[in-house]
Each structure stands twice: as structure tokens, then as C-alpha cells.
Amino acid sequence: MSLHPEQIGEVPEETARVAKACFPKGNRSIRLRDSLGTIFADHEFADLFPRKGQPAEAPWRLALVCLVQYMEELTDRQAADAVRSRMDIKYLLGLELTDPGFDCSVLSEFRTRLVEHQAEYRLFELLVAKLSEQGYLKKRGSLRTDSTHMSFRSASIPSGRTIAGNAARRPECRWLPRLPGSNETPVV
């Protein structure tokens, strides 16, 4: 797959007309496109693709699909089906209503490219930059959170055991990050 960057255009007229008629107050995907635009651009992913070969699906679209996939807790197959069948997703991605979408394996290949090129945080960093630029995130002082639930969870783990040993049995622990350069999760 090679990258042939395209100019990111407006939402096709018919897609916009039908989506706005079906969702007069908008929905999350429509508001996302209207307020933040496309968020990502092809040139931000150019280093992940060779210059020659079969054209790849537009990386900015795949990045947005990954974002929708996360927000709606969709599998790759469900996300690909949403691109194919949901007009609000077509609006977000700037696709014609008749666009056939892509195979679900494309999402896995895109994420693999991100990891292989150590660019897995790129989506997050670009999203935070766009949200900050639009004024949705502001730099502030210290952040305070309620850690009562963490205190409770850590008290229930026997002394000397790691979260990694319990992660398979305790899905609430799977969100903990791995330490850089190791396969071990932090000890609570």
C-alpha cells in the first residue's frame, strides 16, 4: 500500500443534505465534523507508507474511523460496516452516500503501521493539539481526581502481587499502562 495524498474536500452536497435532514439537531459524528473538521490530514501519516504500490485508503479517514471505533466500542468489522451503512459516519468522513467503504482488515493494517513505525501516540497527540487549538482543552495547573476507587482496588490485591498477574481475571485492571520498554504493568 502506498500513500497518494488527496486534497481533503468538503462533505459531498447530497451526503450533507440527507444527514442534516435525518439529524436536524445533529449527532456526535456530525457535530465532530462541523466543529473540528477532519482533525487529521494525510501528510501527518506520510512516513508510514511507501511511495510506490497500490493506493492506500486515506489515512486521515482511517484515523477518524479509529476514533469512532474507540468512542462507540466497535470491533473492526462493526466499524467497517458503520462506514458502509451509516450516513452520519459518511458525513464525518466526507464520503458520498454510495461509497462502498473498505474491508475491515484495513483498520488492523493501519494500526499495525502505526505500531511498526512507533507512531501509536500520533493520533492522540494530533487530537489533543486540535482540541487545544479550537479551545476545547486549556492548559491549567494541577489536576485533582478522586482516587477512592483506586484505593479500594489496590487494597483488595494481596501484597507483593502485580496487576499483570490479576489482569486476566480482573478486566477493570486492563486500562493500566505498560511501563516503557517492558512487558510488565506497574505494581499498585
Report pLDDT digits (tens) over 156-184.
Answer: 555 555 444 444 444 444 444 454 555 55
Whether residue 42 is predicted with pLDDT greater than 90 in this model: the reply is no
Question: What's the DSSP call for residue 2?
Answer: B
From the CB of residue 6, how many other CB atoms can be counted at a distance below 10 Å?
11
Position 53 scores a pLDDT of 61
State mean pLDDT over 59-87.
Answer: 93
State mean pLDDT over 60-75.
Answer: 92
| Per-position DSSP letters for 48-108, written without gaps between them | GS-SSSSBPPPHHHHHHHHHHHHHHT--HHHHHHHHHH-HHHHHHHT--TT-----THHHH
State mean pLDDT over 119-139.
Answer: 85
User: Which cell is 167 given?
Assistant: 489482569
DSSP 3-state of 168: coil
